[in-house]
Amino acid sequence: MGVVAEALRWLSDAANWSGTAGIPHRMFEHVRISLVTVLAAALIAIPVGMAIGHTGKGRFLVVTLSNIGRAIPSFAILGLALPIALKLNLGLGFWPTFIALFALAIPPILTNTYVGVAGVDRDLVEAARGMGMAGGEVLRRLEVRLAAPVIMVGLRTASVEVVATATLAALVAGGGLGRYIIDGFAVRDDARILGGAILVAILAIFTELFMGGVERLARPRMSS
């Protein structure tokens, strides 16, 4: 309980709530990299998943990326991303972290989009074609609407995973809440380490609840 009490005191210390090293700024950095990563992954994975689910071509790609995403630890991806970013003169911090988190976010979004579109009742698809709808219309007006709840689950999963993993940014001179954990280990400050972990956990839980709420709100509109 001693470390927990110290962590709570650290969290309530006004000195930790101001400046570029303060909790609000670190929280902003953490949310920014997470949001940018998920949006970028969605812009790539959703259209590709829709196309694969609609045509049935490229299913091997989905399965392969999904398995790779589960098999390779994010830390290993970060280790691979760092030399790539340096080779491209992108520097430390944002870009190595973005590449690693982007690779983490793609599989759940791509897989759920593919599964959602491919899982639409084929009788409904054939009926839509029989009504004169072209392939693009079937995808846009029928398959995407029915697959939307499954796609949202993929987005929620990716968002929570990215938020929880964005702490790795601190390992490559990036910002975010991971700074408290890494810096805490460097100076053996258990209160700072636990305080940073608590903040990450709270943000991950909030993300889960927020995305769950968005999913519930969007479901009736998308399914109508």
The pLDDT tens digits of the residues spanning 65-118 come to: 777 766 677 777 777 777 887 777 777 778 888 888 998 899 899 999 988 888
CA-based diameter of the chain, in Å? 70
User: Among 18-27, 78-87, 138-147, 165-174, which is the least confidently predicted range?
Assistant: 138-147
Cβ-based neighbour number of residue 217 at 10 Å: 11
Please tell me which residue, 26 or 80, carries the higher pLDDT value: 26
**Burial zone of 185 (CB within 10 Å; 0-12 exposed, 13-18 middle, 19+ buried):** middle
Q: Which of 158, 196, 171 is nearest to 26 (CA)?
A: 196
The model's pTM: 0.85
133 Rama class: left (phi>0) / alpha (psi -120 to 50) / beta: beta
Question: Which tokens in the block code for residue 44?
Answer: 């790539």
C-beta of residue 192 within 8 angstroms of C-beta of residue 10 = yes
Its CATH class, for the domain covering 2-223, is: mainly alpha
Q: At what angle do helices 190-223 and 178-187 cross, to 10 degrees?
A: 160
